[in-house]
Amino acid sequence: MRCLGGVIEHNTHRKVVVIGGGYAGTVAANRLRRRTDVDIALVNPRPEFVDRIRLHQFVSGTGDVAVDYGTLLGEGIELVVDSATHIDTADRMVRLASGHALDYDYVIYAVGSTTAVPSVPGAAEFAFSVAEVESAQRLRARLEEVPRDARLTVVGGGPTGVETAAELAEQGCTVALVCGGSLLPSLSAPGRRYVARWLSRHGVSVLEGATVTEVRPDAVVFGDGAVRPSALTIWTTGFGGPQLAAESGLRTDTLGRLLTDETLTSIDDDCIVATGDAVAPSGRPLRMSSQGAGALGAPAADTVLSRIAGTEPAVVDLALIGTCISLGRRVGIRQLARKDDTAVNFYVGGRAGARIKEVTCKVGVGKIRREARKPGSLIWPKGNPRPAFAASVVTSI
């Protein structure tokens, strides 16, 4: 469905419903306040913002994740504590789990990412996840039950797995990190070596090239048939996506990310704009990250504001500038990267790396507050223009 060239004729206020109050959704909601004639509703299932990038700290008891939306959202934004269950594009209504519905002129789809449901036998039943606050709460409760010297397994050698394993090791847990392929493949070789040394010094067994093929309540089974006792297994092999868009009849990629053009506008409906982890522009999504999500909230809001103003929305240009990974509370690594997100052979480690990581985490939330105070103030690294919208990529998905 198209809304008359994307411009809605109105004499009254426009209504924008932002679905999802994570990094992307809160930035977008705040930025929409650049216009005073926009009514903004932000739908989120919880009454508090979850600082997801600290969930591994929450699990280990070294950090908190709840932030009061009152300190993040600009005046006039209506926080609706509920879950969107359907986007009714014909009637322009967002249907909610409570049975209520919100009518809209535009939707900003910012539902983020979720735990990827693993297909490995036993993983869905017996493994835990740090990807969402509810699953992290279950994991934290279970951690309190297992004996202090129990053997734990973290499956997944990416940043989430490494941060989780490191946090637990620093707390004195005995951890094996099963990487599947290699440890942190997105880092440079020197960066990987640095992390591997830290993990080894802290007693983490890093199993590169090993794959878990079954999870049992008290063990993991490897591809070669070996069985390793595991009192608690944590699955971190990647994120999935909520299926709300797909279930609402909008085209998505295989992970449920909304397919959009390069202005972040749905390829099915000009009134729906997506952002954060939940968007796949031209079917070629950026890396899922809070860094990308916070920044993408701004152009998503700008696209909606352009459509309201009847001007052409800009294509997105965002350069991700490397990765920060914490190794417990005292050490971290800041891997530098080119504007296309590929790592260079330079990193900052040690306490300096930890400080950069902590500042980065604070900046993530700080940006939301700044945008609340001064809508339109967020700037983000550019210089990585994306290839022109490729309809062929989208139609082949």
Ligand X SMILES: Cc1cc2nc3c(=O)[nH]c(=O)nc-3n(C[C@H](O)[C@H](O)[C@H](O)COP(=O)(O)OP(=O)(O)OC[C@H]3O[C@@H](n4cnc5c(N)ncnc54)[C@H](O)[C@@H]3O)c2cc1C
Q: Whole-angstrom Cα distance, residue 141 to residue 116?
A: 21
Complex with ligand X: residue 50 or 305, whichever CB lies closer: 50
Complex with ligand X: residue 163 or 262, whichever CB lies closer: 163
What does DSSP say about strands 343-348 and 151-155: parallel, antiparallel, or unpaired? unpaired
Nearest distance from C-beta of residue 348 to ligand X, angstroms: 15
Nearest distance from C-beta of residue 7 to ligand X, angstroms: 27
Q: Whole-angstrom Cα distance, residue 290 to residue 273?
A: 18
Q: Whole-angstrom Cα distance, residue 313 to residue 296?
A: 14
Nearest distance from C-beta of residue 133 to ligand X, angstroms: 8
- Residue type for 374, please? K
Nearest distance from C-beta of residue 376 to ligand X, angstroms: 19
Complex with ligand X: residue 80 or 305, whichever CB lies closer: 80
The H or E element containing residue 31 is helix 23-31
Which residues in this chain contact ligand X in the complex, by CB under 6 A? 19-25, 43-45, 50, 52-53, 55-56, 83-84, 110-113, 130-131, 160, 163, 242, 244, 276-278, 288-291, 293, 324
Complex with ligand X: residue 21 or 157, whichever CB lies closer: 21
Nearest distance from C-beta of residue 42 to ligand X, angstroms: 9
Question: Could you give phi then psi for residue 118, rounded to 5 degrees?
Answer: -75, 145
User: How would you write 266-323 as a 3-class SS string?
Assistant: ECCCCCEEECHHHEEECCCCCCCCHHHHHHHHHHHHHHHHHHHHCCCCCCCECCCCCE
Instruction: Answer for the pair 169, 176: CB distance below 8 angstroms, yes or no.
Output: no
List Cα–Cα distances, 373 to 23, 252, 305, in angstroms: 16, 34, 18
Complex with ligand X: residue 6 or 49, whichever CB lies closer: 49
User: How would you write 50-81 as a 3-class SS string?
Assistant: ECHHHHHHHHHCCCCCEEEHHHCCCCCCEEEE
Nearest distance from C-beta of residue 154 to ligand X, angstroms: 11
Q: Whole-angstrom Cα distance, residue 6 to residue 272?
A: 10
Instruction: Answer for the pair 382, 318: CB distance below 8 angstroms, yes or no.
Output: yes
Complex with ligand X: residue 179 or 244, whichever CB lies closer: 244
For residue 30, give the nearest of 60, 21, 266 by alpha carbon: 21
Complex with ligand X: residue 221 or 320, whichever CB lies closer: 320
Complex with ligand X: residue 130 or 215, whichever CB lies closer: 130
Complex with ligand X: residue 23 or 194, whichever CB lies closer: 23
Q: Whole-angstrom Cα distance, residue 230 to residue 221?
A: 10
Nearest distance from C-beta of residue 113 to ligand X, angstroms: 5
Complex with ligand X: residue 99 or 147, whichever CB lies closer: 99
Nearest distance from C-beta of residue 147 to ligand X, angstroms: 24
Q: Whole-angstrom Cα distance, residue 147 to residue 97?
A: 39
Nearest distance from C-beta of residue 96 to ligand X, angstroms: 8
Q: Whole-angstrom Cα distance, residue 216 to residue 143?
A: 17
For residue 21, give the nearest of 86, 91, 70 by alpha carbon: 70
Of all residues in the shown chain, the one whose CB is closest to ligand X is 22
Nearest distance from C-beta of residue 10 to ligand X, angstroms: 25
